[in-house]
Structure 1
Amino acid sequence: MERTAVKSDFNINCDNKIRLPEDQQQEKENMNKGVINNMWYVLFKAWKYEKRLLIVIVLQTVIGVILPLAAAALPAWVVDGIGNGMDHMSAVKIAAVLVLLLVSNTAITYLLSMHGTYLLNSKMGFLSSLFRKEMEINYAYAESPEGQNKFQNALMSILNDHQGIPGMLSLIAPLTSNILGLIVNMIIIVEFNVWIVVVLTATAFIHLLIAAAVRKKQDTLREPLADSSRKLGYLYEYMCGNISAREIKIFDMHKWITTVLDNVTKRRLGLAKKSAGFNLFLSVSDCVMLALRDAFAYFVTFWAVYTGKIEVWEFVFYFGIITCISSFFTGLTNTLSSFGQRNLEVHTFREFMDQDCKDEGIGPDERKPVTIELRDVSFRFSNEGPYILRHIDLTLHEKEKIAFVGENGAGKSTLVKIICGLYKPTEGKVLVNGVNLEEIRLSEYHKLLATAFQDIHIMPMTIGENIAFGEADSYVEEIRRCLEAAGLGNEFLDVKKPLTRILDADGLVPSGGQEQKLILARVAFKLLYKNAQVLILDEPTAAMDAISEKAFYEKYLSLSQDRSCILISHRLKSTSFCDVIVVMEKGQIVERGTHGELMDGDTRYRTMYELQSSYYR
Structure 2
Amino acid sequence: MRKDPKTEKKRKEKKKENIIKNNLYILGLVWKISPTHVVLTFIMRFLSFVSWTFYTVVFMRYLFGSNEGSRTFEEAVLFIWIVVAVNLFYYFLSNWFTWRYSPRVAIKIHYSLNRMLFEKASSVDISCYENPEFYNEYTKATTEAFNRAMAVQNNIATLFSSLCSSVYVIITMCTITPYAIILVVGPILGNLYFGKKLRKEEYELDKDNIPFRRRYDYINRVVYLRKYSAEMRMTGFFGVLKKMYDTAYDGIIKNISAYARKRYINSTASALLLYPFAFLGMWLLGAYLVMVVKSITLGDYVVLSSAIVSTTWMVFRFTEAMTASFENGMFIENLKTFMHYTPKIDENQKGITLNGAVKTIELKNISFKYDGQEKFALKDINMVLKSGEKVAIVGINGSGKSTLVKLIMRLYDPTEGEILLNGINIKEYNLHEYRMLIGTTFQDFIIFSATVLENVVMGKVENEAQRKKAAEALNESGVFDKIDTLQKGVDTVLTREFDSDGAELSGGEKQKIAVARAFAKASPIIILDEPSSVLDPIAEFNMYETIFKLCDKYDPAKGKISIIISHRLSSAALSDRIFVIDGGELSESGSHKELMIKNGKYADMFKKQAENYLAAVLVGEGHA
Distance (whole Å) between structure 2 residues aligned to residue 431 and residue 295 of structure 1: 80
Partner of 1:47: 31
Partner of 1:6: none
Aligned counterpart for 1:603 among listed residues 592, 600, 608 = 600
Partner of 1:286: 270
2:402 counterpart of 1:416: no
Taking structure 1 as reference, are residues 584 and 555 closer, same or farther at Cα in structure 2, changes over 3 Å only?
same
Distance (whole Å) between structure 2 residues aligned to residue 267 and residue 40 of structure 1: 34
**Cα offset, 1:84, TM superposition:** 4.3
Provide Cα deviations, 1:264-313, integer angstroms capped at 9, x if missing partner.
Answer: 22212333444555543332122111121222223223322333322233
Deviates most, 444-453 or 248-257: 248-257
Taking structure 1 as reference, are residues 28 and 49 closer, same or farther at Cα in structure 2, changes over 3 Å only?
farther
Deviates most, 435-444 or 455-464: 435-444
Deviates most, 464-473 or 559-568: 464-473
Distance (whole Å) between structure 2 residues aligned to residue 31 and residue 130 of structure 1: 25
User: Is the contact between residue 453 and residue 470 of structure 2 (CA under 8 Å) also seen in structure 1?
Assistant: yes
**Cα offset, 1:465, TM superposition:** 1.0
User: Is the contact between residue 27 and residue 149 of structure 2 (CA under 8 Å) also seen in structure 1?
Assistant: no
**Cα offset, 1:491, TM superposition:** 4.4
Q: SS at the partner of 2:388? A: coil
Taking structure 1 as reference, are residues 248 and 108 closer, same or farther at Cα in structure 2, changes over 3 Å only?
same
Partner of 1:445: 434
**Cα offset, 1:197, TM superposition:** 2.0
User: Is the contact between residue 198 and residue 267 of structure 2 (CA under 8 Å) also seen in structure 1?
Assistant: no
Q: SS at the partner of 2:354? A: coil
User: Is the contact between residue 165 and residue 345 of structure 1 (CA under 8 Å) also seen in structure 2?
Assistant: no
Aligned counterpart for 2:180 among listed residues 192, 196, 199 = 196
Q: SS at the partner of 2:461? A: helix
**Cα offset, 1:520, TM superposition:** 1.2
Distance (whole Å) between structure 2 residues aligned to residue 552 and residue 512 of structure 1: 15
Taking structure 1 as reference, are residues 50 and 549 closer, same or farther at Cα in structure 2, changes over 3 Å only?
same
2:124 counterpart of 1:141: no
Pairing 1:385-534 to 2, within 5 Å after superposition: 385-474=374-463, 475-493=466-484, 494-527=489-522, 532-534=523-525
**Cα offset, 1:28, TM superposition:** 14
User: Is the contact between residue 370 and residue 433 of structure 1 (CA under 8 Å) also seen in structure 2?
Assistant: yes
Pairing 1:574-613 to 2, within 5 Å after superposition: 574-613=571-610
**Cα offset, 1:534, TM superposition:** 0.7
Taking structure 1 as reference, are residues 31 and 434 closer, same or farther at Cα in structure 2, changes over 3 Å only?
farther
Partner of 1:175: 159
Q: SS at the partner of 1:360? A: coil
Taking structure 1 as reference, are residues 265 and 364 closer, same or farther at Cα in structure 2, changes over 3 Å only?
farther
Q: SS at the partner of 2:459? A: helix
Deviates most, 179-188 or 534-543: 179-188
**Cα offset, 1:88, TM superposition:** 5.0
User: In structure 2, what residue type is equivalent to 1:147?
Assistant: F
Distance (whole Å) between structure 2 residues aligned to residue 377 and residue 395 of structure 1: 12
User: Is the contact between residue 218 and residue 278 of structure 1 (CA under 8 Å) also seen in structure 2?
Assistant: no
Distance (whole Å) between structure 2 residues aligned to residue 104 and residue 435 of structure 1: 69
Partner of 1:315: 301
**Cα offset, 1:82, TM superposition:** 6.5
How many matched pairs?
Answer: 585
User: In structure 1, what residue type is equivalent to 2:510?
Assistant: E
Q: Which runs of 5+ in 2 are unaligned?
A: 1-10, 555-559, 615-624
Distance (whole Å) between structure 2 residues aligned to residue 319 and residue 103 of structure 1: 28
**Cα offset, 1:369, TM superposition:** 0.9
Deviates most, 430-439 or 243-252: 430-439
**Cα offset, 1:334, TM superposition:** 1.5
User: In structure 2, what residue type is equivalent to 1:605?
Assistant: Y
Provide Cα deviations, 1:392-425, integer angstroms capped at 9, x if missing partner.
Answer: 1222222322211111111111111111111122
Taking structure 1 as reference, are residues 279 and 540 closer, same or farther at Cα in structure 2, changes over 3 Å only?
farther
Taking structure 1 as reference, are residues 500 and 387 closer, same or farther at Cα in structure 2, changes over 3 Å only?
same
User: In structure 2, what residue type is equivalent to 1:397?
Assistant: K
User: Is the contact between residue 583 and residue 590 of structure 1 (CA under 8 Å) also seen in structure 2?
Assistant: yes
**Cα offset, 1:49, TM superposition:** 2.2
Deviates most, 33-42 or 254-263: 33-42
User: In structure 2, what residue type is equivalent to 1:515?
Assistant: K
Q: SS at the partner of 2:380? A: strand
Aligned counterpart for 1:549 among listed residues 540, 547, 556 = 540
Aligned counterpart for 2:87 among listed residues 101, 121, 124 = 101
Taking structure 1 as reference, are residues 273 and 371 closer, same or farther at Cα in structure 2, changes over 3 Å only?
farther
Partner of 2:282: 297
Aligned counterpart for 2:364 among listed residues 375, 378, 399 = 375
The structure that has the greater radius of gyration is 2
User: In structure 2, what residue type is equivalent to 1:289?
Assistant: L
2:331 counterpart of 1:326: no
User: In structure 1, what residue type is equivalent to 2:308?
Assistant: I
- The sequence identity of aligned pairs, in percent, is 24
Taking structure 1 as reference, are residues 392 and 30 closer, same or farther at Cα in structure 2, changes over 3 Å only?
farther
User: In structure 2, what residue type is equivalent to 1:211?
Assistant: G
**Cα offset, 1:446, TM superposition:** 0.9
Which TM-score applies when normalising by structure 1?
A: 0.89
Provide Cα deviations, 1:348-384, integer angstroms capped at 9, x if missing partner.
Answer: 1111011124432314316421522222222222455
Q: SS at the partner of 1:600? A: helix
Partner of 1:120: 107
Distance (whole Å) between structure 1 residues aligned to residue 204 and residue 530 of structure 2: 43
Provide Cα deviations, 1:526-566, integer angstroms capped at 9, x if missing partner.
Answer: 01xxxx22100110210112232222122122223331011
2:348 counterpart of 1:353: no
Distance (whole Å) between structure 2 residues aligned to residue 193 and residue 396 of structure 1: 90
Partner of 1:12: none
User: Is the contact between residue 20 and residue 329 of structure 2 (CA under 8 Å) also seen in structure 1?
Assistant: no
Distance (whole Å) between structure 2 residues aligned to residue 57 and residue 152 of structure 1: 28
Which TM-score applies when normalising by structure 2?
A: 0.88
User: In structure 1, what residue type is equivalent to 2:429?
Assistant: I
2:553 counterpart of 1:558: no
User: Is the contact between residue 370 and residue 534 of structure 1 (CA under 8 Å) also seen in structure 2?
Assistant: no
Q: SS at the partner of 1:240? A: coil
2:60 counterpart of 1:56: no
User: Is the contact between residue 372 and residue 430 of structure 1 (CA under 8 Å) also seen in structure 2?
Assistant: yes
Q: SS at the partner of 2:588? A: strand
User: Is the contact between residue 239 and residue 245 of structure 1 (CA under 8 Å) also seen in structure 2?
Assistant: yes
User: In structure 1, what residue type is equivalent to 2:102?
Assistant: H
Partner of 1:19: none
Q: SS at the partner of 2:179? A: helix
User: Is the contact between residue 464 and residue 476 of structure 1 (CA under 8 Å) also seen in structure 2?
Assistant: yes
Q: Which runs of 5+ in 1 are unaligned?
A: 1-26
The alignment's C-alpha RMSD in Å is 2.6
Distance (whole Å) between structure 1 residues aligned to residue 517 and residue 228 of structure 2: 26
User: Is the contact between residue 134 and residue 142 of structure 1 (CA under 8 Å) also seen in structure 2?
Assistant: no
Aligned counterpart for 2:243 among listed residues 254, 259, 262 = 259
Deviates most, 368-377 or 572-581: 368-377
Aligned counterpart for 2:322 among listed residues 336, 358, 377 = 336
**Cα offset, 1:322, TM superposition:** 2.2
Distance (whole Å) between structure 2 residues aligned to residue 298 and residue 320 of structure 1: 10
**Cα offset, 1:343, TM superposition:** 1.8
